[in-house]
Amino acid sequence: MPNKGSKTNTEISLQEFISAINFSYDGVWITDGEGKTLFVNNSIPRITRLEKQLVEGKNMQDLVEQGVFDKSATLIAIEKKEVVTIIQKVHTGVITMVTASPIFGNDGKIQKVITNVRDITELNKLKDKIEFLEATQAAYEKELKELKMKLFRSDGIIAASHRMQDVIQTSTRLSKYDSPITISGEKGSGKEMIARLIHENSERSQRPFIKINCTLPAELLIMELFGHHTHGEHGQSISNNASLIEASQGGVLYVENADQLPKPLQSEIIETIERLNKKPSPNNLGNADSIRIISSTAQKTDGDSSINSKHPLLSYSVFTIEIPPLKERPEDIPLLTKHFLDRLINKYGKELRIPSSTIYDFLQRPWKGNVKELKNTIERLYILADDGWLSDNLTHKADALKTQRNTKNTTLQSMLYEHEKSIIEKAFSRYKTSQLVAKALGISQASAVRKAQKFSVPLKKRGRPKRG
């Protein structure tokens, strides 16, 4: 039996206890029940970058008031009489996670507070770095998506002109929302393409895009929109065809030429969709099967409330996108021409070149059928071409052969120079004045004058009125 006062194998001296605490990787801070510092282990200076003599014997309240710490877990634990964990900032720039545990005496009063301190500065820096990288990645993805949309060339969407760039940018913004919208523009201007562009860049991109064909007879259109039941001879329902509206749940219902639908039918479409959109979804996570309406019209609706008031679907829209006709964005015509020709070459393999005379001719046309007419025209010329050039008549072919002879041993720069010169000469020959040339080519009058001077094209001088 051990002698009185001797240690057993399970007992350690105070000095051994202090040594053990000093070897702890975490910081240990001990105060009395009033918050006065009694002991800090050797890890505290390493973690907090505070010298021991600065804090030993000091009350935590004084250290907070002096700005050494922004707050004290010890003081909070004394006040609440419970274990407390906080994030603490040290004036040295260190951020720590602090857990203060009060030790109660037999009288129920707090005798000591033992605080565990861990440095999370590096963890916070890593967290901030991850958040920065995530934000940077999101910004790059957003910029890339907008750039892709700006340069979007799928199915003929070309955004070289400022007006079409505005359409693309507006479509980008609207793709983030579920608001009903109207797309207006002349026949063949690309209304459905813009509708699909909005759908493909929205969170609904993996859900259906349903197009309503408004040219169907009214009775058939109603059955397609709302579905219909087939009954047996005793009146029982034996089949039920799903409606186009139900099929578009979670996605987009595109109503083409909405203004051509009867007014009651437009109202019924809106009422049906609103009723479906109000249905609750599982787990109350919002209605994932809601339907977004995108309507289109060949009429100009911007600012004309009289047109919208006659058509419920148009007045139901929150926003209208106006697609400019092709004749008002001539900058897009050369790019569209090359785009459609490249698609045909990739599909059929017959290589063709575009003479400047063809581009000039395209720039003069009214294009009442807009992009669709241009696309069909290029396909027709491609099929008929047998001399390696995309041209429309003998004059174009002669000009193409002349261009071919002149460009056999020339550089790309000189070829472009000759093409531009030919366009400018023909434009001034036809329109005479720099103002009309500028309007026809979609450039400023000053630019037209500079190009005339560059290619030595004589400018028509305005005569002065004679004095009487």
Q: What is the pLDDT of residues 44-54, one digit of tens each?
A: 999 999 998 88
pLDDT at 424: 85
Are 157 and 190 in contact, with CB atoms under 8 Å apart?
yes
Residue 90 structure tokens: 């040290």
pLDDT greater than 60 at residue 402: no
Question: For 40, which DSSP code?
Answer: E
Are 443 and 436 in contact, with CB atoms under 8 Å apart?
no
Candidates 257, 250, 296; CA nearest to 273 is: 250
Amino acid at 154: S
Alpha carbons 452 and 44: distance in angstroms, whole number:
80
Going from N- to C-terminal start, the domains of the chain cover 14-119, 151-230+238-324, 328-454
Helix, strand, or coil here: 97? strand
Question: For 112, which DSSP code?
Answer: E
Are 48 and 27 in contact, with CB atoms under 8 Å apart?
yes
pLDDT at 281: 53
Question: For 68, which DSSP code?
Answer: S
pLDDT at 240: 53
Q: Summarize pLDDT for 89-144 with one digit per residue, the tens.
A: 999 988 899 999 999 999 999 999 999 998 887 677 777 788 888 888 877 776 66
Report in angstroms the alpha-carbon separations of 82 from 69, 97, 456. 21, 17, 92
Alpha carbons 60 and 112: distance in angstroms, whole number:
13
Are 312 and 299 in contact, with CB atoms under 8 Å apart?
no
Question: What is the rounded radius of gyration, in angstroms, for the C-alpha atoms of the chain?
Answer: 39
Are 397 and 389 in contact, with CB atoms under 8 Å apart?
yes
Q: Summarize pLDDT for 425-442 with one digit per residue, the tens.
A: 888 887 788 888 888 787
Alpha carbons 259 and 214: distance in angstroms, whole number:
9
Report in angstroms the alpha-carbon separations of 178 from 175, 201, 202, 448. 8, 12, 9, 44
Q: Residue 239 is inside which H or E element, if any? A: strand 237-241
Per the listing, tokens 């069909």 go with 376
Sheet holding 319-322, edge to edge: 209-212, 252-255, 292-297, 181-184, 319-322
Q: 5-19, 96-110, 223-237, 355-369 — which is least confidently predicted?
A: 223-237
pLDDT at 359: 87
CATH match of 151-230+238-324 with 3.30.2130.30: no
Mean pLDDT of all residues belonging to the chain? 81
pLDDT above 70 covers what percent of the chain? 79
CATH match of 328-454 with 1.10.8.60: yes
pLDDT greater than 90 at residue 71: yes
Are 31 and 112 in contact, with CB atoms under 8 Å apart?
yes
Architecture of domain 14-119 in CATH?
2-Layer Sandwich (3.30)
Give residue 417's pLDDT band: very low, low, confident or very high (50, 70, 90).
confident
pLDDT greater than 80 at residue 305: no
pTM for the predicted model, two decimal places: 0.51
